[in-house]
Amino acid sequence: MIILKNADVYAPEHLGKRDILIAGNKIEKIAEHLDGYENIAEAEIIDLQGKKTVPGYIDMHEHITGGGGEKGFASRVPEAQAGILLGNGITTVLGMLGTDGVTRSLENLVAKAYAFREEGIRAYTLTGFYGYPTPTLMENVERDVMMIDTMIGVKTSMSDHRSSNLTAPQLIDLATQARRGGMLSGKAGIVTIHVGPGPDMLKPLFEAVRTSDVPIQKFIPTHCGRTDALFGQAMEFAAMGGFIDITAKNEDLEGVSAKILRYFEQDPENHHLTMTSDGFGSMQKYNERMEVIGYTYASPSCLHNTVRYLVREKNVPLELALTLVTVNPADVLNLKGQRGCLKENAFADINVYDDEMNLQYVFTEGRKAVWNHELKMKGMFEE
């Protein structure tokens, strides 16, 4: 049992000074004052002295088994590590494949998700990858979503030279299977769509929404900040009621923040924009012949860095910036009230900032992952 005293709670809505009781892996109670625990031997009381206390981050786009490979076998990105995620305040993650669906398998993806769960991170997965027809573990997308615990949807790609030039009818087929499988198993049943730099942008997606009965909220286009034109289309999609996702980038905090602020002008309370890291996904630079001439991979640290930049450099209210990585992704993943929030009966995934808005404490399901800026929880083979 842990009692966090004098926390300045952002749930993500600002509640002000509160005490938080953690019992096991959940938040048992939040109140202005929780007294009477001082003489209970099992109770650890921690005075946060007014530090900002927020939900653990949800990253809906993480290449947990590593991405890449576009520059040959040596360019396959290493697998994600639990300590790196937890050290950056990420307590819930959605893992997926990318370009490579040959040397990166769905079996490995699911196994990695289970490993993360053992290591303290709540991990989910998507079936499929950039290619079409979509590879699955159990004959089709619907069976994967229904029968495999970690699977909550499907990943695909469009408007990209690495994709299979997905058509609207093919996109509808994937979405229908994911939707039906999700309904029958109580899961999100989403289609995450990698959107590349191709000229069609969201055209196949708009056609799929227009010509099908699949709810618009089940289509999640990602990398929507790639260009101004694409982001403009994405904002139109959001205005129709759909969720859109923007990729954080450490090397372009200003550019990403500018697009987020542009979106907030349209939707001041932010009902439909999420932000993800694309962590451990490859970041390539291409020449005019689409040959790779530069290569690195994304760090999960960009999520916290962008939230911090929005608040400290752009004067965005913390409660608004947090919606990008807490309640909105929880809504997409069908985890509302369980993750991405600080409320009674929610899982005790909690980040505490120091005065400079660095991560001073991180709790994952009530366990201490970061303590006084020091990482306490790591994967089995992390040094």
242-268 pLDDT per residue, tens = 999 999 999 999 999 999 999 999 999
Which two three-digit tokens encode residue 1? 């049992």
What CATH number is associated with residue 94?
3.20.20.140
Specify whether 35 is located in the same domain as 149. Answer: no
Over residues 176-203, the mean pLDDT reads 97
User: What residues have CB less than 8 Å from 140, skipping those under 6 apart?
Assistant: 177
- Alpha helices per DSSP H over 10-147: 82-87, 106-118, 141-147
Specify whether 61 is located in the same domain as 50. Answer: no
47 tagged catalytic = no
Q: What is the pTM of this model?
A: 0.96
Confidence of residue 228 (pLDDT cuts 50, 70, 90): very high
- Using an 8 Å Cβ cutoff, are 57 and 323 in contact? no
* Measured distance CA(119)–CA(383) in Å, rounded: 14
DSSP category for residue 79: P
Q: Which of 8, 100, 278, 331 is catalytic?
A: 278
For the segment 36-76, what is each residue's pLDDT rounded down to a tens digit? 888 888 889 999 999 999 999 999 999 999 998 888 898 89
Specify whether 64 is located in the same domain as 201. Answer: yes
Cross-strand bridge partners of residue 222: 194
Specify whether 356 is located in the same domain as 237. Answer: no
Which two three-digit tokens encode residue 42? 């099992």
Strands 350-353 and 14-23: unpaired
16: left (phi over 0), alpha (psi -120 to 50) or beta: left
How many CA atoms within 13 Å lie on the side-chain side of 43? 14
- Domain assignment present for 382: no
Number of H helices, E strands in the chain: 10, 19
How many domains does the chain contain in total? 2
Specify whether 103 is located in the same domain as 216. Answer: yes
Specify whether 176 is located in the same domain as 196. Answer: yes
What CATH number is associated with residue 30?
2.30.40.10
* Measured distance CA(323)–CA(307) in Å, rounded: 10
pLDDT over 80 at 136, yes or no: yes
Residue 167 is part of which domain span? 56-332
Specify whether 202 is located in the same domain as 350. Answer: no
